[in-house]
A and B are shown apart, each in its own frame.
Chain A
Amino acid sequence: MTVMTASRRWSTHVPGAAAAAIALAVFVAGWKALVVLTGYPPFILPSPELVLERFVSAWGDGTIGPHALRTLYEVALGFGLGAGLAVVVGYVLARLPLAERLLSPYLVAAQATPILALAPLLVMWFGPGMTAKIVISALIVFFPVAIATMVGVRAVDARLLELARSLRATRWQVVTTLEIPAALPAIFGGLRVGVTLAVVGAIVGEWAGADRGLGLLINLARGSLFDIPLLFATLLTIALLGIALYAIVVLIERTLVGAR
């Protein structure tokens, strides 16, 4: 009883930012403890402060910046392209049962094929520039967003559709004023998953062959440079990039979906 009230008070009174800070502190402390207890050398497991130091210096001297910028471009374009197409296709799947029957085997097969296996092929086709990464990113984003859109549009209340019909709404008005707004919470569910996958897609693509990007930097840090703290600093950058993009999606969701 007391435990329950205490935990409820805890969860309602500690704001999100404070909770995140505590979680971060626990994570860093655990990491530090592991380094101290095991005594691993920095090229196996560098300490948190060493990684932070390298993170700051690598951002300061322009080691990470250009790579991060390239990855950000690829993610943004891949996500935009993949999610945009997915919303259109998801809508068609929802409203044309025949399309779903014809297309879903291909969609599932594409989703089931490991992106790791596809990436080298796409890099071979499109070369080491941005195109292959954008395509990979878009591919990996596509499925969750398309399915979320399909489910969301199918769930639109038939009574609202009848209302729109009684008001003589055109097909396009029904899409823009009813179906999309009604499906928006579901679509954003897909976008949240999609945006983190978009980062994974770009990194995997760069890993398979690139002239620039955080995936390439990981390969460099671990290989020719043999700078393991830089490798960790790059991982940290990727994680922060993912968190930032996710937060942007959530922010847009809050403004668009708002209080219903």
Chain B
Amino acid sequence: MSGQMGAIGRIELRDIAVSFASGAGSSSGASDGARLIALDGVDLAIEPGQVVALIGPNGSGKSTLLRVVAGLLRPDRGTALLDGNPVDGPDPRVGLVFQEPRLLAWRTTASNIAYPLELAGVDRATRRARVAELLTIVGLEAAAVQVPSQLSGGMRQRAALARTLALRPEVLLLDEPFSALDELTRERLNLELLAITAHTPTTILLVTHSVQEAIFLADRVVVLSARPGRVVADIAVDLPRPRSLGDLDAAVVSATARTVRAHLGEAAA
């Protein structure tokens, strides 16, 4: 929104390490010895407007890394920088879409999308206009007054995406946002995501399990190793934009996919 310098939304991670107290009853007594190391020395820089896909085995710390960038988790070591400033808590410039929709069951779709605006103290008229806009963007106009239990899985994910977009974040963090959906719905939502972010330059860090999806959406695919997570590969995707589903048949795609899979194989081993 403010300033079109193109220097907005730069993420830099320097030597990020995160560990958790492991085992049950960790709150009492001997917890010092047994800590589960989730991330150990992650370095990553994402330029403004870039789309980076993060891929790695289960438990490699992908969600943990997003929570660090979102300011929900303080790393044990290292720093996360947003536009050069250390992240020290949730920031309005950063929007996070969780793996599950996390909608409030007692609010309608429109009211769920308005929730961040309400919390930020945006006045009612502005809220209403922005929500109408977002409902159109994600194609949920017809479901505006329905409650989450009346929505399909895909609609809930779109509502969650719209909610995150409400505050016009410069950085979008997506944690396997469409993983619970079937292939077709997922492809459609991916296309919508590309369309949405095409006209508002946004830096995107996206976690996915699908190599295809990673290549289709991202400028770079970053592979994390098995726990403790570390960057083992950073692969550029040489596919021009705008992209369409047909591009998935291009030779570059299969070549890139082979490279990513090779590194994933190493990562899992």
Binding site for B on A (CB under 8 A): 157, 159-160, 162-169, 173, 177-178, 181-182, 184, 257-260
Contact = CB atoms under 8 A, between A and B. Distances in A.
A173 B115 CA distance: 11
Contact of B116 (A165, A167, A178, A260): A167
Contact of A168 (B100, B102, B119, B149): B119
Contacts of B96: 166
Contact of B149 (A163, A169, A173, A260): A260
A213 B71 CA distance: 60
Contacts of A182: 104-106
B147 interface: yes
B98 A260 contact: no
A181 B115 CA distance: 14
A260 B96 CA distance: 25
Interface string B90-119: 101000101010101110000000011011
Contact of B92 (A164, A168, A173): A168
B93 to A, nearest CB: 11
B92 A163 contact: no
B54 interface: no
Q: Is the interface of A mostly helix, strand, loop or mixed?
A: helix
Contact of B102 (A160, A173, A181, A258): A160
A259 B151 CA distance: 13
A160 B106 CA distance: 13
5 contacts: A159-B100, A166-B70, A166-B90, A178-B104, A258-B106
Interface string B114-132: 0110111000000000000
Contacts of A184: 106
Contact of A177 (B71, B72, B119): B119
By size class, the interface of chain B is 20 to 34
Contact of A159 (B90, B98, B116, B147): B98
A163 B102 contact: yes
Contacts of B115: 167, 177
Given A167-B90, A178-B104, A259-B149, A162 B72 contact: yes
A130 to B, nearest CB: 37
B147 A260 contact: yes
Contacts of A157: 102
A166 B71 CA distance: 8
Contact of A165 (B90, B100, B147, B149): B90
Contacts of B147: 259-260
